[in-house]
Amino acid sequence: MDDPQLGADGLKAILDEGLDELAATAHAGAAPRVAIGLVTAWIFSLLLPWPFCAGWACVVTALEASAWFATRPQFLGRAAGWSRRLWHVSGLAASCLAWVALGAFAWAGGSPDGPVCAAVIWLSLVLFSQTNAYQSPIGFAVSGALPAAAILGVVVLAPRPPGVHLVPVLAIMALAFAFAGEGVVRMVKARRRLNETQARMRQSEARYRVLADNATDVITLADVNGKRIYMSPSIEAALGYPIDELYRMPMYTYIHPDDREALAAQSQALMETGGSMRAEYRVVRADGSSMWVETNFTLVGAESGVDPPQIVSVARVAQQRKELEAQLIEAREAAEAAAAAKSDFLANMTHELRTPLNAIIGFAGLLRASPRLAGQDARHAGLIADAGATLLDLVNDVLDFSRLEAGAVELDPTPFDPAAEGRAMVDLLSGQADAKGVALRLQTEGLGLLTGDAKRLRQVLLNFLSNAIKFTARGAVTLRLAQTPAADGARAQLRAEVVDSGVGIAADQLAYVFERFTQADVSVSRRYGGTGLGLAICKRTIELMGGRIGVASREGEGSTFWFEVELPIAAALAPAPEASAAELDRPVRLLLVEDVAVNRELVKTVLAPFDIRIDTAEDGVGAIEAFRAGAYDLVLMDVQMPVMDGLTATRRIRALPIPAALTTPIVAMTANVLPEQIARCAEAGMDGHIGKPMNPAELLTTIAHWAGTERDPEALARSA
């Protein structure tokens, strides 16, 4: 049994498919068809009785008029209901049958012209069905199949006109039907293809439109002159204008005035080069507020089937990101300013601390060495000297740690011999260890030459070793150095361990020993001294080298501090600089430039036993005057001074129009000891640097080196 629902659906589909299109064209062609009908009636009145023709013309005209009313809504593009469609279809069928009937009367009329005119009418009718078939299957059924069946009925059943042979008539009719039928099949197929293509296009357009219409990003399509072709509705919410107004706005209206020029230039470049570009700019919303957007523009052209080319833009609000970026920049600037302030503070602090320490350590050292002090006084002088030295260590550690933390320390890798370093270290500390009755040993394994910052590695080892000796009352401290080649053959891993049999560290303290200002417990600093910065410096130093550092310890049994670094293998050591064996064996004329009186006195006292004539100046201006007036073997120049600083004074002296200006050595003697500060001294034209607190031995060696050695400005310039 047929499913009645399916049958109704099928009928509805047939009545739906193309019928409105057929109705619309039928409506448009009503007047010409009425005209043709009237002319045909007049022609046929030559064959048939005129009252019949007039009646026929009335019927056809009435049917056309009825059809005109039936098809008006479809012609106006409105949807039509079932009843209207049926009205139109039955009218069409009636009209076709009226034309078949006209032919039938001519056929049966008895005149010899009748069959010919009938054939012409019928064939025209059959061909007419092709057009209707293209527009709608039901159009074909009522204007093709129905009249064809009626014509056949007439030819076969009606009385045959005299002299007409049925066989050729039927044959030619069959041929005409076949011809028309084949045309109908092609038309129907073409129609179906068109429908399918249109449906696919509608579907895909609907899909894209759904995407574009619902995108939160603003999607627009414009021609190359900026005329908007499409804008996604999200633009309304983004800009606050109704979309119709936006379509009418000239290009760039809602772009922030400050950003228009740049955006126009970018767009111009896009037109010339093609492809896509990203732009960030501000737009001004309807309420006058501005906000940042980021937009991707793409020029689509012939390669995408778009001709002339168009510009697709996808924009999204970037306000939050921009605000965040601005905040980040602000925060970074603030952090940089804070870091700069911190390092300025640090530089000043160390300078200010070193200046009085220079006098304290210097004079305490002199007193300790003086044969005139005895007993308690000598002991007190020694204590001041020791405390001064401890304070200096602290200042150095704080400075070093802060520079490591700020990333201001640069490594200075040179070839070195780890075995020689190990021996030197043990030699240096053996006195301390012996004094405590602790054995100090060195064990090495597979050592060879390496390239690294030996000075920094020494600093770490020295820290490990002096801690180990400090915290070990009896037993031994062992330094183990072992080297293993790394996978690539060009590098090797150096592992250093300092093993002691000392007090050890409690398990809960182990995790913190590498943190700054950490001591295992508060009693430590009372008993052993120290600042708790040494291991923090070690950790950052080893990490700067890309290595690892650690400790294993058991309370009461001892500790093992270790580090591992991977370093390039070195082929040979750099030749050691020749030790200057200079001695102060001749009179020296020295200009001492120093603003602090007590420091001037200290230098004079230290140098008193030697044959050195010392002139002094208290600032840069005084230094230049003294330099012009006298002849000196060496100038010792402080840097931070009132009136004129040492750097300016050095530059002015080097520019003086006298030969001595370029040949006299100038050595900085300053509490400015940071690498960049030392570099600034060299840039100003100084030949050396002595840091404060000054070490008397270093001062004497420097004076001995330069006294009598004239500076060779050309050689210096070359080496620079």
Residues near ligand ADP (CB under 6 A):
463, 467-468, 471, 500, 502-505, 513, 518-520, 524, 530-536, 559
Q: Between residues 148 and 535, which has the closer beta carbon with respect to ligand ADP?
A: 535
407: left (phi over 0), alpha (psi -120 to 50) or beta: left
Side-chain half-sphere of 636: how many Cα atoms within 13 Å? 31
Amino acid type, 305: G
CB 239 within 8 A of CB 283: yes
Q: Between residues 64 and 500, which has the closer beta carbon with respect to ligand ADP?
A: 500
> Which stretches within 630-695 are classed as H helix?
646-654, 660-663, 675-684
Q: Between residues 388 and 620, which has the closer beta carbon with respect to ligand ADP?
A: 388
CB of residue 512 vs ligand ADP: minimum separation in angstroms? 8
CB of residue 511 vs ligand ADP: minimum separation in angstroms? 11
The 3-state DSSP class for residue 481 equals strand
**Residue position matching structure tokens 């009718």:** 125
CB of residue 592 vs ligand ADP: minimum separation in angstroms? 36
DSSP label at residue 311: E
DSSP label at residue 255: B
CB within 8 Å of 694: residues ≥ 6 apart: 358, 362, 603, 669
CB of residue 524 vs ligand ADP: minimum separation in angstroms? 4
274 alpha carbon, distance to own chain's centre: 24
Q: Between residues 238 and 520, which has the closer beta carbon with respect to ligand ADP?
A: 520
How far apart, in whole angstroms, are the C-alpha atoms of residue 348 and residue 672?
A: 9
CB of residue 471 vs ligand ADP: minimum separation in angstroms? 4
CB of residue 475 vs ligand ADP: minimum separation in angstroms? 12
Q: Between residues 438 and 647, which has the closer beta carbon with respect to ligand ADP?
A: 438
DSSP string for 564-625: EEEEEBPSSPPPPPPPP-----S-EEEEEE-S-HHHHHHHHHHHTTSSEEEEEESSHHHHHH
**E strand segments, 467-557:** 475-485, 491-500, 548-554
CB of residue 565 vs ligand ADP: minimum separation in angstroms? 19
Buried/exposed 511-544: b ≥16 CB within 10 Å, e otherwise: eebbebeebbeeebeeeeebbbbbbbbbbbbbeb
Sort strands 276-284 and 290-300 into parallel, antiparallel or unpaired.
antiparallel
Q: Between residues 21 and 543, which has the closer beta carbon with respect to ligand ADP?
A: 543
Q: Between residues 130 and 463, which has the closer beta carbon with respect to ligand ADP?
A: 463
Report the residue closest to ligand ADP, judged by CB: 530
Identify which of 153, 4, 14 has the alpha carbon closest to the alpha carbon of residue 89.
Answer: 14
CB of residue 653 vs ligand ADP: minimum separation in angstroms? 43
Q: Between residues 529 and 546, which has the closer beta carbon with respect to ligand ADP?
A: 529
Q: Between residues 460 and 673, which has the closer beta carbon with respect to ligand ADP?
A: 460
CB of residue 534 vs ligand ADP: minimum separation in angstroms? 3
CB of residue 421 vs ligand ADP: minimum separation in angstroms? 19
The 3-state DSSP class for residue 38 equals helix
Q: Between residues 502 and 646, which has the closer beta carbon with respect to ligand ADP?
A: 502
Q: Between residues 282 and 539, which has the closer beta carbon with respect to ligand ADP?
A: 539
**Residue position matching structure tokens 């093609």:** 274
CB of residue 709 vs ligand ADP: minimum separation in angstroms? 41
Q: Between residues 449 and 549, which has the closer beta carbon with respect to ligand ADP?
A: 549
| The two three-digit tokens of residue 347, written as one number | 């530089």
Determine which helix (DSSP H) or strand (DSSP E) holds 226, and give its type and residue range.
none
CB of residue 536 vs ligand ADP: minimum separation in angstroms? 6
| Residue 45 backbone phi and psi in degrees, to 5 | -70, -15
Identify which of 168, 131, 128 has the alpha carbon closest to the alpha carbon of residue 147.
Answer: 128
CB 241 within 8 A of CB 286: yes
